[in-house]
Amino acid sequence: MENYDYDLFVIGAGSGGVRAARVSASLGAKVAVAEERYLGGTCVNVGCVPKKLFVYGSHFAEDFEDAEAYGWQAGDPKFHWPTLRDNKSREIERLNGVYEGLLTDAGVEILAERAVLTGPHSIRAGNTSIKARNILVATGSWPVVPPFPGSDLAVTSNEAFYLPEFPRRALIIGGGYIAVEFAGIFAGLGAEVTLAYRGELFLRGFDAGIRRFVLEEMATKGVDVRLNTRIASVERVGDRLHCRFDDATRLDVDLVMAATGRAPASADLGFEAAGVVTAANGAIPVDDSYRTNVPHVYAIGDVIDRLQLTPVAIAEGMCVAHNLFAGGSRQVDYANVPTAIFCQPNIGTVGPTEERAREIYPELAVYESSFKPMKHTVSGRGERTLMKLLVNAEDDRVVAAHMCGPEAGEIIQGLSVAIKAGATKADFDSTIGIHPTAAEEFVTMREAAR
Ligand code: NDP
């Protein structure tokens, strides 16, 4: 019988890899994880966590303004970028330590090395050759910058978290999660922000009503959103970046950030030697148990390119661990995965868009409410909140909830439990609201708008 060094060897200590490694070790497996960059992966280091800290930081500008109507005189607030950047980095370093502790406490061996497959059961990590009964590829994804003259002058989200200087004027290219989140961050922190999106309306795939609403809110906050606009070139001229667009317009900025998607990080991992196949975009195809085409080589998270979301990678990692070492046959349920975009105001969403729901449910009732949040009745700010509830009128089931407004993610997380459990509109109606909250609107929507 073959002698293996480990029951499970994980490549990549991001959200999914760490969870799979920890749970496997807690189930008695001998586990190692190799990580060449930073513990915690994209989410902890250059994603969700520092992004949310920046979102908090960027909101203070409005908070200082709003405070005046509530009687506070905050003086003339000034923003100091190095303070936010470095305090954020300190917190990330603390979290790196927490992740290290979580792994070592669980008995997982950490190899701070790049690991590559050398066969279906073998890995080389640094100079060490290792044999593993099972291998899990959890290498995540990496930002993609489309080719255009001067594209090398553009930063991605990776660098945006560590900018030496805060830009006075910033151009963001793209119209997905990262583009709208960073547009809000940079604008809140005081930059003049232009967002250039190639299509008709950004946030493709999200509910159209929510997308239009966010567009209006972003414009109100001073972000210059240019739709149907492609970058043609970027050139350094003195201390600024001279940008040209395909419609012949031009713009001078201090920073160009490409937020144009993330590709699976699957290159140069020794897949040829192991016989693991990848799709044209680098994604690793897997079955319902996250098995690749090679038995005992598994893959989860961004590198399989299903849903590039931390909690999804974690759920996939749990599945692999349980199925391998607890004899389970778990699967991840990809239906009704809730998600939030931390643009300003936030988007929270669960279930299909209204457009998609109309195709699935011929008798769709749409409940909708748009209002000024209570806080702004006194602050005078023009910001509004939009909430939508989609109901299959045939069986009264609530099939989706969409929101754009403060704390939308917090509110939709709760609603997603109800929707997953199959709650009906009658259940929502008979639920007592919490007053005064924005969330109570979801249980007091009486008349369908459409
Ligand atoms: P997204 O896939 O969300 O968006 C990419 C954007 O870039 C789209 O608007 C796309 O346009 C545009 N784009 C793609 N290629 C080009 C090109 N060649 N030229 C111009 N524009 C282009 O990617 P992000 O980078 O924003 O984020 C990556 C993933 O990370 C997200 O999909 C999400 O899963 C995850 N994420 C999650 C967050 C959260 O949970 N809050 C936060 C941040 C990221 P088009 O629509 O026309 O294709």
Burial-class residue 425 by CB neighbours within 10 Å (0-12, 13-18, 19+). buried
256 C-beta neighbours (distance < 10 Å), count: 23
Q: What are phi and psi of 336, to 5 degrees?
A: 55, 45
User: Could you tell me if the CB of 342 is within 6 A of ligand 1?
Assistant: yes
**Ligand 1 within 6 A of 450 CB?**
no
Does the pLDDT value for residue 438 go beyond 90?
Answer: yes
Nearest residue to 261 via CA among 348, 184, 156: 156
Query: Which residue owns the Cα nearest ligand 1 atom 23?
Result: 261
Strands (DSSP E) contained in 205-272 are 224-226, 231-237, 240-245, 250-253, 255-258, 262-264
Q: Is the CB of 309 under 6 A from ligand 1?
A: yes
Q: Rounded distance, CA 292 to CA 288, Å?
A: 10
User: Is residue 2 pLDDT above 90, yes or no?
Assistant: no
Residue of 229, 262, 304, 344 best suited for mutating to test ligand 1, as the one with most atoms within 8 Å of CB:
262
Residue 71 CA to residue 108 CA, distance in Å, equals: 54
- Judge if the beta carbon of residue 175 lies within 6 A of ligand 1: yes
Ligand 1 atom 15: residue of nearest CA: 260
| Range with lowest mean pLDDT among 129-133, 199-203, 300-304, 328-332 | 328-332
pLDDT at residue 340 greater than cutoff 80? yes
Listed residue (4, 99, 23, 110) closest to 328, CA to CA = 23
How many residues make up the chain in this entry? 450
Residue 243 has pLDDT above 90, yes or no: yes
Residue 368 per-residue DSSP state: E
Residue 175 CA to ligand 1 centre (angstroms): 6
Determine the average pLDDT of the residues in 353-380.
Answer: 98
Tell me the two tokens of residue 318.
């749990």
Whether 155 and 184 have beta carbons less than 8 Å apart is answered as no
Query: Cβ(199) to ligand 1 under 6 A?
Result: yes
Task: For 251-267, write each residue's pLDDT tens digit.
Answer: 999 999 999 999 999 99
Q: Ligand 1 centre from 248 Cα, in Å? A: 24
Residue 59 bears catalytic tag: no
- Strand pairing class (192-196; 224-226): parallel
How is 26-76 classified by DSSP, letter by letter? HTT--EEEE-SS-TTHHHHHHSHHHHHHHHHHHHHHHHHHHHHHTT----S
Is residue 146 reached through a cis peptide bond, with omega within 30 degrees of 0 on the bond before it?
A: no
For residue 149, is pLDDT > 80?
Answer: yes
How buried is 172 (Cβ within 10 angstroms: 0-12 exposed, 13-18 middle, 19+ buried)?
Answer: buried
Q: If pLDDT is split at 50, 70 and 90, which confidence band does 281 have? A: very high
Protein residue closest via CA to atom 3 of ligand 1? 176
Whether residue 1 has pLDDT greater than 70: no
Q: Using a pLDDT cut of 70, give the percent of the chain over it.
A: 100
H-helix or E-strand containing 117?
strand 115-119
Render pLDDT for 188-224 as a digit per residue (tens, 0 to 9).
Answer: 999 999 999 999 999 999 999 999 999 999 999 999 9
Angle between helices 208-220 and 177-188 (to 10 degrees): 20
Nearest C-alpha neighbor of 183 from the set 207, 201, 200, 167: 167
- Determine whether the shortest distance from the Cβ of 52 to ligand 1 is under 6 A: no
> Confidence band (pLDDT; 50, 70, 90) for 42?
very high
> Could you report the per-residue pLDDT of 66-98, keeping only the tens digit for each?
999 999 998 899 999 999 999 999 999 999 999
Looking at residue 433, the DSSP 8-state letter turns out to be P
105-120 as b/e: b if 16+ CB within 10 A: eeebbbbebbbbbebb
Mean pLDDT for the stretch of residues 417-431 = 98
* CB 195 less than 6 A from any atom of ligand 1: no
Dist. CA 447–CA 385, nearest whole Å = 18
Q: Report the pLDDT averaged over residues 311-339.
A: 97
Q: Which of 158, 260, 353, when mutated, tests ligand 1's pocket best, judged by the most ligand atoms within 8 Å of its CB? A: 260
